[in-house]
């Protein structure tokens, strides 16, 4: 029998949900509102689609392995050198590079709980020990995270805004936290949702000049509406960027994705419009939850909200399924360490209305939003 290595033997396979078409057919729905994966409800900007079409004609060639124009554009916007920019097949791939480059069996990694669910499997795949630090009032507990950093700790991951709570660490405490860690501990700042932040925001890329042990991860999957293309980037000091490049296969980001990301990056006005839409909808959803008497985690700075679903007319664990059968896909907190909650992505006005309508029906005779 072929035996997988000891580290893999302890891991489980990620089980993807059924294709959406199948779900529509199963429940006889003519439309599914997908609010489950924090994607943009809108597609790529029209100029981005055009760039993709022209790039598609050239896919007989391998991509530009150095992604020169895209890395240059990202570097320029961040005030960094192109050598400090590493691209990934989604920012998830950069998480794999980081753990591959910096974690050995028995090393320790520290992050919050609940936070983005990928940190755990990528660290486990390296045989690392995980210190998961409970959130405090739904937000990162920086003091408690710091207490978990010991001699074996090689990496600390902070997701800001945090998935799934949407809570956001203000620049000053976050910077103090980074400064307080030993210089041989890598601090990974996952900023997948940073473009949605409307609170005071620090240009964290500026911190790289001071902290060689800092890595910032961002993505084109969220506000730019390119999740299906798989492209994200890391900003780091030169030695860290070089380490990540050692484990990267040369053509990890395809040419259509590179062209799309480059074009998407040159439309800050459109990004701003999406940020404003999300901020308006966040407030509108919170007001509707207040009217319905449904508790939630307030203050999200991301494109999703965490909603309490216990005490409705169906038992909590069944609420995601009840919403699904009515045509609204949300993410059940029971699957990521938040029993009693669902995470709902902010969609278009119409999609959010549909979600509120169906939620209000589960409130059991409650007022309509």
Ligand X SMILES: Cc1ncc(COP(=O)(O)O)c(C=O)c1O
Q: How far is the CB of 221 from ligand X (least distance, A)?
A: 3
* Complex with ligand X: residue 149 or 159, whichever CB lies closer: 159
How many residues of this chain bind ligand X (CB under 6 A)? 13
Residues 262-321 that bind ligand X (CB under 6 A): none
Q: How far is the CB of 313 from ligand X (least distance, A)?
A: 30
Binding marks (x or -) toward ligand X, 61..100, rule CB under 6 A? -----------------------------xxx--------
Q: How far is the CB of 121 from ligand X (least distance, A)?
A: 13
* Complex with ligand X: residue 204 or 360, whichever CB lies closer: 204
Which pair of tokens denotes residue 298? 């307030």
Phi and psi at residue 328, in whole multiples of 5°?
Answer: -120, 120
* Complex with ligand X: residue 342 or 363, whichever CB lies closer: 342
Does 163 interact with ligand X (rule: CB under 6 A)? yes
* Complex with ligand X: residue 155 or 192, whichever CB lies closer: 192
Q: How far is the CB of 2 from ligand X (least distance, A)?
A: 30
* Complex with ligand X: residue 158 or 292, whichever CB lies closer: 158
- By beta carbon distance, the residue nearest ligand X is 90
* Complex with ligand X: residue 253 or 363, whichever CB lies closer: 253
Asked whether the bond before 164 is cis by omega within 30 degrees of 0, the reply is yes
Does 159 interact with ligand X (rule: CB under 6 A)? yes
Q: How far is the CB of 90 from ligand X (least distance, A)?
A: 3
Binding marks (x or -) toward ligand X, 108..137, rule CB under 6 A? --------x---------------------
Quick count: other Cβ atoms within 10 Å of Cβ 341? 27
Residues 181-240 that bind ligand X (CB under 6 A): 190, 192, 219, 221, 227, 232
Q: How far is the CB of 365 from ligand X (least distance, A)?
A: 35
Q: CA–CA separation, 329 vs 35, rounded Å?
A: 5
Q: Confirm if 208 and 235 have CB atoms less than 8 A apart.
A: yes
* Complex with ligand X: residue 39 or 263, whichever CB lies closer: 39
Does 34 interact with ligand X (rule: CB under 6 A)? no
Q: How far is the CB of 270 from ligand X (least distance, A)?
A: 19
Q: CA–CA separation, 273 vs 327, rounded Å?
A: 27
Q: How far is the CB of 233 from ligand X (least distance, A)?
A: 9
Which residues contact ligand X (rule: CB under 6 A)?
38, 90-92, 116, 159, 163, 190, 192, 219, 221, 227, 232
């Amino acid at each position: 029998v072929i035996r997988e290595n000891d580290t893999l033997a302890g891991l489980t396979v990620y089980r993807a949900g059924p294709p959406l078409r199948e779900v529509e057919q199963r429940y006889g729905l003519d439309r599914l509102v997908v609010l489950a994966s924090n994607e943009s409800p809108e597609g790529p900007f029209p100029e981005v689609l055009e760039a993709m079409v022209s790039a598609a004609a050239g896919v007989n060639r391998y991509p530009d392995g150095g992604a020169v124009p895209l890395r240059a554009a990202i570097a320029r916007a961040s005030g960094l050198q192109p050598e400090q920019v590493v691209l990934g097949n989604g920012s998830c791939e950069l998480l794999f590079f980081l753990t591959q480059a910096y974690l050995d069996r028995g090393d320790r990694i520290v992050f919050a709980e609940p936070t983005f669910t990928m940190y755990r499997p990528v660290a486990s795949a390296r045989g690392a020990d995980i210190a998961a630090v409970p959130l405090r009032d739904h937000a990162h507990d920086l003091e408690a995270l710091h207490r978990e950093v010991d001699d074996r700790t090689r990496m600390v991951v902070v997701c800001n805004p945090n998935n799934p709570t949407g809570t956001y660490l203000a620049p000053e405490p976050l910077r103090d936290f980074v400064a307080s860690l030993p210089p041989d501990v890598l601090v990974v700042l996952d900023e997948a949702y940073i473009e949605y932040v409307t609170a005071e925001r620090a240009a964290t890329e500026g911190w790289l000049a001071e902290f060689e042990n800092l890595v910032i991860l961002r993505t084109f999957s969220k506000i730019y509406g390119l999740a299906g293309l798989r492209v994200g980037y890391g900003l780091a000091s030169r030695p860290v960027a070089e380490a990540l490049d050692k484990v990267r296969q040369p053509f990890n980001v395809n040419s259509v994705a590179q062209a799309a990301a480059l074009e998407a990056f040159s439309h800050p006005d459109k990004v701003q419009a999406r940020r404003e839409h999300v901020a308006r909808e966040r407030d509108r959803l919170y007001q509707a939850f207040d009217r319905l008497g449904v508790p939630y985690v307030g203050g999200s700075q991301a494109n999703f909200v965490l909603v309490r679903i216990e005490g409705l007319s169906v038992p909590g664990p069944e609420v995601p399924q009840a919403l699904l059968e009515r045509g609204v896909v949300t993410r059940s907190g029971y699957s990521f360490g938040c029993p009693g909650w669902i995470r709902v992505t902010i969609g278009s006005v119409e999609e959010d209305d549909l979600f509120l309508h169906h939620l209000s029906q589960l409130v059991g005779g409650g007022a309509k939003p």
